Amino acid sequence: MGLYVSTTGTDVSIPELGFTLVHPSTDYALSDQFSVEDIQGASTLTTVIRDGTLTWKKTSGGSTEAATDYDPDLLEADTLNTGPGAKGDRAVTFKDLTGGATAVPKSGIVASGSFAPGNPRTAAVVFATAFVDNNYTVIISGTDKRTWSSESKTSAGFTINSNASQELTGNVYWMAEYETNP
């Protein structure tokens, strides 16, 4: 069991997770990226699921659950102190790798139409919650074949550079991970 969310018409920012889910997103596996404790502490996540801004499922292939049935403690069984599912038995999460909430990696999707015309085409990424400084690494991948790069990096965001003038046809995916040991 996990937590799979889908957008219903707009980008959704979840500041407690330092994360923005860009529309359209379907069956995004939040439980694979964030710990149970992080999900339980994300009151914005609970709000946007219960108000219908996000839909949710327990399995990616399963049926959509009722918004009113969402409980942030649904994954609690995965963190029992003994037996299968104990914290020592669970998969590594972003929080484990980065050392805490202030360094939680951020990720998102930029739609092809968000890139400004020009040579090169660029798009700004603004974090829902800023890092403490600009000591982070950016990874960019896109549907279109490009040599992607980041520039104008600040604690609040960065610019994605496509290094080409041709119009993009697909989404661009990014992740920013804070460097805890510079």
Domain boundary, last residue among 66, 97, 128:
97
Domain boundary, last residue among 62, 97, 132:
97
Categorize the per-residue pLDDT at 103 as very low, low, confident or very high, splitting at 50, 70 and 90. Answer: low
Residues 62, 110 within the same domain: no
Residues 118, 55 within the same domain: no
> For the segment 106-129, what is each residue's pLDDT rounded down to a tens digit?
899 999 999 989 999 999 999 888
Residues 17, 80 within the same domain: yes
Domain boundary, last residue among 49, 69, 97:
97
Closest CA to 30 of 5, 8, 13: 5
Q: What is the mean pLDDT of the chain?
A: 81
Residues 85, 122 within the same domain: no
Categorize the per-residue pLDDT at 83 as very low, low, confident or very high, splitting at 50, 70 and 90. Answer: very low
Residues 91, 112 within the same domain: no
What CATH number should be reported for the domain holding residue 124?
Answer: 2.60.40
pTM across the whole model? 0.47
Does 77 score more than 70 pLDDT?
A: no
The parent domain of residue 39 ranges over 4-97
Residues 12, 78 within the same domain: yes
Closest CA to 170 of 147, 150, 141, 149: 141
- Which sign does the torsion angle of CA 56, 58, 62, 64 carry? negative
Q: How many domains does the chain have?
A: 2
- For residues 172 and 141, the answer to whether their CB atoms sit within 8 Å is yes
Residues 113, 69 within the same domain: no
